[in-house]
Amino acid sequence: MDLRNLPDGLSPADRCDERRRRIERELGTPLEAARADGARIGQAEEKNCEQMFGHVPLPIGLAGPLAVSLSSGERIEAYVPLATTEGALVASVNRGCKALSESRGASVTSIHHGTSRSLAFRVNNTDGVRSFMAFLSEKENEWKAVATATSGHLSILSYAIDASSNHVFLTISCDTGEAMGMNMVTIAAQAIGEWVLNHTKENVEFTTVAGNVDSDKKPSARTREHGRGYAVTASATIPAEVIASVLKSTPEAMVLTAQAKLEHGSKIAGAIGANLHAANVVAAVYLATGQDVAHVVEGSLADTTVEPEGNGIRISVRLPALLVGIRGGGTGLPAQNQCLNVLLQPKTSLPPRAQLAETIAAAVLAGELSLLAAQASHTLASSHKKMAR
């Protein structure tokens, strides 16, 4: 099936249509429902998807207002677009937003660790591993200069050197401006690897630009512990009267459910990340705003804690790795860009990318709070029966 050799002069939408017709003929499967809308695909056919033949509509719901105290000290009321096909999810997050907003909102803090990439080298003389590691440390300023020369938007925030047998890994973590920047960091890492080969005296092979220590799009204890992208913590105190009126539960039931689920259940499972359903909210916001949705893997590493406080509860969620951007990737596609503009508040001193990460964490907190209440009150099954069938 030839989906690349198309007639000259076709528009992006026409190219999609031509491919779709060829696929329909070859596979005998109708694809009219996936037909590309030329007014809505933006530059997806040229920049985002090879051999594009259409697009799949995703339902988008709105949760909010969500009261958030940002790390800058500013307070905002956010509205959160959620792209999902799971009935009851938007309603649940919306309920959590209401509970948070009636409880003085979510307080958020964040640390920017940067986007990381791990170069892997093989040292052919095992005795040379230590001297090669020392070389990387000694030449830090030189290989950093090589990396930053690849882009005017990139700077290196930190690096780590690890060894396993005769393999040495150099992991760089970078600030990439307003973009999530995975491609930017990969290009910089490739330049470092090539420079190292030309300047080291050791017998070394540059094995790969992506050696898995960075755990890109994969769960790892290292990412959970040390963070990647933005590490964000969102927390709130929910009084008993809000738990009763909005969440239809009690502080005691919610604490007991949290202990069973987050402490004991997660421990038995060997979970990397003890949370209720953080990935649900991360994925829905990522899809709506044009993020790289595969990074929901790192987003799922969240840890949620619940404890009694006053006559209510204190609930917190730490997301160690939110990889987000407001430029590049899918953020420039028409619908995704508009949803991004719904979520971002234009009049804050916090950089928009940091604001995006912090708002996502607050939305995750809303989702954790509402689902915990549903499980504590034994209404999870009935809610899905009512709303998701």
What's the pLDDT band for 385 if we cut at 50, 70, 90?
Answer: low
The overall average pLDDT reported for the chain is: 96
Pairing of strands 167-175, 155-164: antiparallel
What's the pLDDT band for 312 if we cut at 50, 70, 90?
Answer: very high
Strands (E) located in the chain:
60-69, 75-83, 106-123, 155-164, 167-175, 204-208, 229-238, 303-309, 312-322
pLDDT at 26 over 70: yes
What's the pLDDT band for 386 if we cut at 50, 70, 90?
Answer: confident
Residue 349: which residues within 8 A CB-CB, separation 6 or more? 72, 74
pTM of the model: 0.95
What's the pLDDT band for 168 if we cut at 50, 70, 90?
Answer: very high
Q: What is the pLDDT of residues 356-383, one digit of tens each?
A: 999 999 999 999 999 999 999 998 877 6
Coil vs helix vs strand at 191: helix
- Ramachandran bin of 73, using left for φ above 0, alpha for ψ from -120 to 50, beta for the remaining angles: left
C-alpha to C-alpha distance for 327 and 351, rounded to whole angstroms:
13
Residues labelled catalytic: 86, 292, 384
* Mean pLDDT (whole number) for 197-214: 96
C-alpha to C-alpha distance for 90 and 77, rounded to whole angstroms:
17
pLDDT at 389 over 60: no
Report helix angle 352-376 to 251-258, nearest 10.
100
Q: What is the pLDDT of residues 128-156, one digit of tens each?
A: 999 999 999 999 999 999 999 999 999 99
Residue 75's pLDDT is what?
97
In which residue are the tokens 């939305």 written?
363
Q: Residue 83: which of 336, 263, 304, 361 has the closest Cα? A: 336
Q: What is the pLDDT of residues 50-83, one digit of tens each?
A: 999 999 999 999 999 999 999 999 999 999 999 9
Per-residue HEC secondary structure of 241-274 comes to: HHHHHCCCCCHHHHHHHHHHHHHHHHHHHCCCCC
CA distances from 336 to 44, 83, 146, 332 (A): 11, 10, 34, 7
Identify the sign of the CA torsion 385, 249, 259, 107: positive
Residue 384's pLDDT is what?
66
What's the pLDDT band for 182 if we cut at 50, 70, 90?
Answer: very high
Please report, rounded to a whole number, the percentage of residues in the chain having pLDDT higher than 90.
Answer: 95
Least confident of 1-5, 333-337, 380-384: 380-384
Cis peptide bond N-terminal to 346, omega within 30: no
| Cβ count near 140 (within 10 Å) | 12
In which residue are the tokens 């951007």 written?
325
Rounded to the nearest 5°, which phi and psi values hold at 78? -95, 150
Q: Quick one: how far is CA 343 from the chain centroid? A: 15
